Structure formats: C-alpha cells, structure tokens
Structure 1
Amino acid sequence: MLHPLDYAVLAAYLLAVLAICARTARRSPGSDELFLAGRSLGVGVVGLSLFASNISSTTLIGLPGAAWQSGISVANYEWMAALVLVFTAVFVAPVLLGNRLTTIPELLEKRFDARMRKYLSAVTVFLALVLDTAGSLYAGAVVLMLFVPGLPLGLTCALIAVFAGLYTAAGGLRAVAYSDVLQSLVLLVGSLVLCLLVFGEFDFRWSQVVAAVEPDKLSLIRPLDDPALPWLGTLIGLPVLGFYYWTMNQYVSQRLLGARDVGTAGRGAVLAALLKLLPLFLMVIPGVMAIALFTDLERPDAVFPRLVAEYAPAGLAGLILAGLLAAIMSSVDSALNSSSTLITLDFVKPRRPDMDTRAMARLGRIITLVLVALAALWAPAIDRFPGLFAYLQQTFAYVTPPLVAVFLLGLFGRRVGARAAFRGTLSGHALSAAWFAASQLGWLDLHFTIVAGLLFGLSLLAILAWQALDGETPRPDQLAAVARSRAPAVPVDVRWGAGLVVALTAALVLAFR
C-alpha cells in the first residue's frame, strides 16, 4: 500500500501535467499547432520527448520483466535504437524536414502515389491503437492494481485512458512534447533511485550480482539457438524493427517533424540516442538482479511493480510510480496525437480539401477521444498473452518489415515505380501472414527477430521483382522528393554527435558481450 506522502507526490505530478495542458491549450487553435506544435520544438524538447514517448510499457514494465526471464540481451533493443536514431539524424531527417512533411506517409505519396500514403497510414494507426496505446494502458493498470488492491483491470485502463485522452485532445503535440520533458526527468530520476536501491541489496558490488545470477543472463550477445534473442536476430531483425519504430512510426517521428529546422531535429535525435543507452543500467540490470531477489513470481510483467513495492520507501515509491505513470501517459498521448494526425490529414483532408485549420483541429480532438476509447476496450485482452514485451515485439516483427523495405527503396532507390512499390508491399504482407500462420501451426520455428530480417529481405525481392515485370519509370518530380541535393545540409556537430553515439554503443556492447 502507498504512504500518504506517495499520494502527495502523485498528486503533484498530475497537477503539473494539467497545468502544462491548460497553458498550451490556450495557444492551440489550429491544426499545425495541434499536430506539429507550430514546427517550433527545440533540441531538448525533441530529444527528451523522443525518449519519453518510447519509455513506457516496453521499457519500465517490459524490459525488467524480460531481463528477469531471460537476461540482459533484451537491452539490445535499446542500443540498436540508438544506432537507428543517429542514422535517422544524418540520412533521413534532412529529407523529412526538407519536404516540410506533416505525416511520414506523406513522403510515400510524394515518392510513389496516394495509395502508398494511405496504406502506411492505415497500418500505422492500427499498430498505434492495438500496441502502443492499448499496451501502455495495460501496463499502467497492472501497476495501479498492485498498489490499489481490488481495482478491476478494465476500469483501471479506462481511468488512465480518460486522463490521457483529455489532455492530449486539449493541448495537441505541444502539450504532449512539453509534458514529455517533465515525464522524462521524473522517469530518469525515479529509475535511477530504484536501480540504486536494488543494487544496495548486493552491497553495491557487481561481483555479488555476478555470483548470484547465471553467467549467460549477463551477456548481450547470445547463441544462435537462444530462445530470447539470438545474435542473428540482433543483427538482421532489430535494425528493421528499430527503423520502423524510430523513423517511420508517426507517433515517434512527429517530434522530428515538429522541430524548428534540420539541425534541431538532428541534435534532438542524437540526444535521444544517448539517453537510449541508459535503460541497460536503469531498467534491465535491476530486472536481472530480481532473479536473485524474487523466486515466487509467476509473470515477468510483475517484476517492476514488485521492485517498487519491496524496496522503495515512502515518498520515493510515489516518485517512482509517478515516473511510471509519466512514461505510460507519454506513450498514450504520443500514439493518440499521431493517430489523430494521420486520420485527419491522410484520409479526411484529401476528401475535404476546403476544411479550414480550426475545423481540422476540432476533428482531430474528436478522433483522439474515439481512439482512446477503442484502445481502452482492447487493453484488458492483453492479459491473455504470455507477456507484454512479447506481445509488442512479435506483432511488430510480422507487420513492419514490408513497410521498411518499401520506405528504404523509395528513399535511396531511383528505379522503383509506384505500382511495383504497392504490389510488392502487399506481397510482403501476404507472405508475413502466411509465415505467421505456418509458425502457429508448428511448420516453421524461427525466432521472431530472425523472421523480421528474412521478411524484410523477401519484401525487398518482391518489390524488385514487380518492378522488373512492370518496368514503370519514376517521374522526375517523384525522385525530386527524396533527392539528397535538395535536402538541408546536416550540421557538423550532428555528425560528430552521431559518431560519439556509435563509439559509446560499441564500447557498451563489448563490455557486456
């Protein structure tokens, strides 16, 4: 049970979020402000908001649980994200900002046609609804139910949904991004405190941790037959999943699109990449320590709540719980705002081109509330799956590889036409569905990260095969949309920052290999 001081900390956090929402709502009349914060976000806001939008169910709940179950190799998702972010900062962000995009699917329309825009947009909204939003609502409910016994799962998901939905609809991306800054700081402080408290159970000596845990649980690079994350999956699968999540996923990339300029976007992405190196120490390793501390847990999703309940004293428990709620709210508000953006601009606006900005903003707020209601209805169903992290990552592994394949070919290729792109993407998803069915029937048994890499390669081949059969040549205006010569130059400090992230990542992997 929580101490009165913990409730005071939680109340202070909620009041701070409401104050941010109230302040930003007064200056949010139009769609550009609602969806992209007026393209005025600075470096700190972009970087911290990128970090906070991801640090939710897949991190605070999923990472410690996965580490408790299978070891620190789950942190490979985090350092791979850092590499993807710096790649995006140097090679992709200039194209995105040079085209002054409002949505990522808009680039596929410029490079291919409207079909590809709507296809990517529809899939993105689906994933944001059933994975990001519903998963975050479920994660928040799991924790609140531990501290407030007797709360039903469905009602708890609904309460979180109402709060997140209302302030997202009211304040738009500016409220989302500014509250993300607060949430990032609370999250980092809370996670650091909990990590130190748990490490204190081992007298702050790493040798005691090593002695208490099986050696293979402390290795990032695992054998090919490892059931959790084989090295081949890290090599060929995680870059695909990471590229979709950090570059193509509207709810993450919207922060880059809302940056002041390409330099701001690049610096923000580098800052987020540096922060993504921290979860190994703040969230994954405490999960591994829990192997020696808890032997009676039945589900990995209970590891983080149990750590908080057992080791956080009064006041600090409230701060850590506020950090968790902050992270969950961040992912919920990010997914809601981006999905509202996609539906409004990619589906409604083309049919009603005369709609003014205030009408679009009003529609976007209505869509936000509808989406959060749908996510709240689906969230309790996640309890039937074996674990939150597996639910999220395995779904991404089958759905995203064809999308990444067509995006990269469109961005860096010059010969693929619109018809081949669309047909090849459909073929890739048909193959994904067949592979998923075969795996469920027991005909194929490969780790889902390896499957992601193979589906990516097969989707590339499918698109190129359709291009060879079709022979359509892209128009000059389609190629101009992704021309490097027309993209803004990447500042030197962004390139140096990217190099620093790569060096630090290499050092981290070597240290825990």
Structure 2
Amino acid sequence: MTSLIPVLVYLALSLVITRVWSARQAKQSQQFCEDKAKRFFIGGAFLSGPLLALTLVATYTSAGSFIGGPGAAYKYGLGWVWLAVIQVPVVILTLGVLGPKFLAQKRQYSTIIEWLDSRYNNRLLSNIAMFSLVVGFVAMIAVQFIGGARLLAGVTGISYELGLAVFVFTVLAYTLTGGFRAVVLTDALQGIVMLIGLMVLLVVILMQPDLGSKLAAETATTPELLSPHGVGGGLGWPMMLSFWVLICFGTMGLPHTIVRLLAVKDKQSLKRGMIWGTLICFLMTLIPHLCGFLGRIIFPDLAIPDQIMPRLIAQLMTPFGAGILLAAPIAAVMSSVDSMLLQSAVSIVRDGIVKKRPNMGATQQVRLTQLMMIVITALACFWAVKPPDMIVWINLAAFGALQAVFLWPILAGLFFPSVGGKTALIAMCSGMVSYLLLQLQIPLQAGVHPIVPALVISLLMLLLSHFISQTRVKRAISSH
C-alpha cells in the first residue's frame, strides 16, 4: 500500500493547485463575468500556445495511449509502435486546419453542439449530435475508468473494484469543483507530469541488465515482433492506412478536442500550439508504446496485455518510486475523463434542457450540469465493473463512432457555407448507421477499419444531397 500514498498526495496537490490557479485567472479575466454558466462551461478565450498544446495532447492522450496502446504493442510488436506514431500530425491538423476558422467566429460558443445548432439551424441534427456525443463519451469514460483502476490495482496491490472506486471518486472531485478553465489547467499540469513520468520509465527500462541480449533472443524466436505488419500479420497496409484515418485525419471530428478551439486566445497561440503540440504528441505517443514493446522482452508471459504498464511500474521501481511514477499514467487518464465528463454533461444541459427551458438561471444550469456529471459517471462505472482483456478496441470503436457522426458536418460547416442543415443531417446519419453496421462485420476481409468505408459513404451522401438541393434551388430560381 506504500505506493498508493504518493498517488493520493499528487492527486490532492494537483486538485488544490489547479483550482487556485484557475480562480486567480478567472478574476483577472473580465470576459463572461456576467454569465456564470458560460464561465463554467467554456471559461473565455484564454488558451495560449503552450497551454493549448498541453491540454489538447493531454485530452487526446488517454488510457488507450497508456494502457491499451502499450498492451497492443506488447501483443503485436514494433509494428503497433509505428502504427501509433501515425497520429503525431493530429495537432497540426486540428489547430492548423480548423483553428483559424473557429477563431474567426464572432460569437463565443460553449459547446460544439451549440455551434452546429447555430450553423445549421436543424433541431434534429443537434439532437442526434448531442445523443451521439453523450453515448460515445460514456463508452470512452468507461474505458478510462478501466485503465485507471487497472493501474491502481496492478501497481499498489489493491483489488480492481477498490481501484475503480478510488478513481471514480477522484474524477468526481476534479470535475465537480471546477469548470472548463479548471479542467484545462488540470490537463496542462498533468501533461507535464505525464511527459516526465514517461521519460523516467523509458530510462529505467533501458537500464535493465541484458536487455539487448534478451531482445535479440526474443526477436529471433518471434521475428514478426520487428515486422511493420505485426505478430500474425494483422497490421497489413490497408489496416495501417485506415488507422491513419482513424487516429489522425478523423480526429478533426472529435468533440472533446475541438472544444479547445472555442477557447483559443489568438492566431499566435494557434501557431505556437502547433509547434509545441506536435513535439509533445510525438513524445507521448512514441514512449509509452515503445515501453509496451520492450516490456514484452522483460515480462514475456503476461496473459492480459493491458497489464504491461502496471507490471513495468510495479516491478522495476521501488514501492514509493512506483507510486510517484504511477502519477503519470493516472494523469493521462484523468486529463481525458475530466474533459469528456464535463463536455457530455454540459451538452445535455446547455444543448438539451436549456433549449426547452431558456429562462433557467446560471446557477441552476451549473448545479444541473454537476448532477449530470454524477449520472454519467455512474453509467460509465457500471460498464467498467466487468472489463475486457484489451480496452484498446473499445476506445478505438468509440473514436470511430464520434468521427463518423461529426467529421463531415464540422468540415462542411466551416469550409462550405452553402451546405445546409438537411444535407449535414443526411451525412451525419449515414455515417453513424454505416459505421455501426460495419462494426458488426469485423473483421473485414480487406483488412480495412470500418471508419474508412463509413466516412466514404457519409461523404458521398453529403455530396449527393448537396448536389440535389443546389439543383432544386437553381430550378426554383429559373422558374421565376
């Protein structure tokens, strides 16, 4: 139990530090002073370059990157490490492509659903988007809970159920006591902790005696460990290319990363965010997956691949040192959970309930949002009670579902003003339905992830619907 003490101390200190920090910044900023609800939901345009980079990468880096990703690298070998590095340009895409467009918006939005509602003025589209966001986030939050509980259980020796309870109560303490600004500052602090912890773990692994000779012996026995296609050849080029769509290009359709663009300070912050974010994303992607691959050399007989990171931390460090190092992956999981939990609760209240009750006071909106956080946490906790052996596939499935729903409506809304609400709705529904149907057919014979055909179908439906609507408009004009 010794190793649990530094974790609890870290969580308590980070909670206090970020709340004091956010309170001081909120007092300095006069923006949204008259709207307590908006101040809680979005916090104003306050994200500078380094802060933007840290919160974006910390939110994107989750249990999938620290538990599921290294577990997959443990199972499939170096090929999964190369597969993971595909996501490094995600910051350039998100900030460089979408950032200037959102920055040019004259109105400040609290959620991505609020922006979609303003852009398309289609109630059904907004409702489907809100439902998809909440369901997708509940699934992803459950994955984070599983990852956090496995970390605590694997390193400290407590039961999985107790680890889950500790993690859930910690998440609630973080999210209920602060709004978006506090969450962002928490992400920034935890992003720094993640980076330092990862570097320490990699150095410890590389200093293990006879690592080189063990690596040579293991790869001689299983040469596919060094193959770009992975053990068993499961990572063929169609899968590699489709994963580029899933974890890189498609991330422009993830609501919990895009919401950061609603709080960017200026263009200079976007430029600095791209530079810092790409560097941080590279390190936070490469190091944990490389640790998972090297972990197979040190502990070759794990029955559950997702246990590799807890095993590395617990076995290679002293109990107290393991507790300190455990703060890094816990920070990764926390930084994703708090963002998704806040955003899903805010969407239910701001984009659902407040629309039906527009006279609801700001304090009541905040209290109702906090209640929704508790409900969503309970649902995710229920899903996490009986976890699967590998969480990476659940995380990626939720990733793909959100992208299939949001990607083309967001891109069309930003870059093509003539695209209307009905067209965006058709693209959203076709993407969602086709992705869910394709998920039932896994594994596809062509080795392509379902996100690729789903996005192709959604795009084709968008183009076809837009062409038909434009043709009708031209006929109506010519008839007059």
TM-score interval w.r.t. the shorter chain?
Answer: 0.7 to 0.9
Cα deviation for residue 474 of structure 1 reads: 9.1
Q: For 2:322 and 2:158, locate their aligned partners in 1 and report how far apart those are by CA, in whole Å.
A: 19
2:173 aligned with 1:170 = no
- 1:476-506 alpha-carbon deviations (Å, 9 max, x no partner): xxxxxxxxxxxxxxxxxxxxxxxxxxxxxxx
1:124 aligned to 2:129?
A: no
Residue pair 2:95, 2:274 contacting (<8 A) in 1 also: yes
CA distance in 2 between counterparts of 1:445 and 1:44 reads: 43
The residue aligned with 2:385 is 380
C-alpha contact 1:37 1:258 (8 A) present in aligned 2: yes
Task: Give the distance between the partners of 1:17 and 1:427, measured in 2 at CA.
Answer: 43
Task: Name the count of aligned residue pairs.
Answer: 460
Supply the distance in 2 between the matched residues of 1:474 and 1:259 (Cα, whole angstroms). Answer: 37
SS of equivalent residue, structure 1 residue 82:
coil
Distance 1:427 1:377 in 2: 30
Aligned equivalent of 1:479:
none
CA displacement at 1:202 relative to structure 2: 5.5
Name the stretch that deviates more: 16-25 or 335-344.
Answer: 16-25
State the AA in 1 paired with 2:410. Answer: F
**Aligned with residue 141 of structure 1, among 149, 159, 181:** 149
In 2, Cα distance between equivalents of 1:280 and 1:56: 10
After TM superposition, the structure 1 stretch with the greater mean CA deviation from structure 2, 135-144 or 229-238, is 229-238
Q: Report percent identity of matched pairs.
A: 26
Partner AA of 1:12 in structure 2: V
Q: 1:474 to 1:147 in 2, by over 3 A?
A: farther
Tell me the secondary structure at the aligned position of residue 400 of structure 1. Answer: helix
Q: Choose the corresponding residue for 2:17, options 12, 16, 20.
A: 20
Alignment match, 2:348: 343
Structure-2 change in CA distance of 1:117 and 1:269 (3 Å): farther
Q: Secondary structure at the match of 2:400?
A: helix
Asked if structure 2 preserves the Cα contact closer than 8 Å seen for 1:48 and 1:184, the reply is: yes
- How many angstroms does 1:22 deviate by? 4.4
Q: Which residue is equivalent to 2:373?
A: 368
Whether 2:441 is the aligned partner of 1:445: answer no
Q: What is the distance in 2 between the residues matched to 1:264 and 1:324?
A: 27
Check whether the contact 1:39–1:258 (CA below 8 A) recurs between aligned residues.
yes
2: CA distance, partners of 1:234 / 1:396 = 16
Matched, 1:70 2:76: yes
Q: Which moved more, 1:289-298 or 1:397-406?
A: 397-406
Please list, as runs of the form range in 1=range in 2, the aligned pairs for 1:36-435 lying within 5 A after superposition. 36-76=42-82, 78-99=84-105, 100-114=108-122, 115-131=124-140, 133-149=141-157, 151-153=159-161, 155-201=162-208, 209=215, 212-213=218-219, 214-218=222-226, 221-222=228-229, 226-227=233-234, 229-245=235-251, 247-381=252-386, 383=387, 385-398=388-401, 400-435=403-438
State how far apart, in whole Å, the 2-side matches of 1:26 and 1:430 are.
43
Return closer, same or farther for 1:424/1:51 CA change in 2, 3 Å cut-off: closer
Alpha-carbon distance change, 474 to 253 in structure 1, aligned in 2, over 3 angstroms: farther
What do residues 174-197 of structure 1 show as CA deviations (whole Å, max 9, x unaligned)? 221222222122211211111111
CA 1:254 to 1:427, structure 2 compared with 1: closer, same or farther past 3 Å? closer
Offset at residue 171 of structure 1 (A):
1.1
Following TM superposition, where does structure 1 have runs of at least 4 consecutive aligned residues deviating by more than 6 angstroms?
Answer: 472-475
Cα distance change of structure 1 residues 217 and 152 upon mapping to structure 2, 3 Å threshold: closer
Gap change, CA 1:430 and 1:281, over 3 Å in 2: closer
Q: CA RMSD in A?
A: 2.9
* Secondary structure of residue in 2 paired with 1:298: coil
Q: Are 2:55 and 2:187, in contact at CA under 8 Å, matched by a contact in 1?
A: yes
Report the TM-score, using the length of structure 2 for normalisation.
0.86
5+ residue gaps in structure 2? 27-34, 475-480
CA contact (8 A) 2:89 2:278 kept: yes
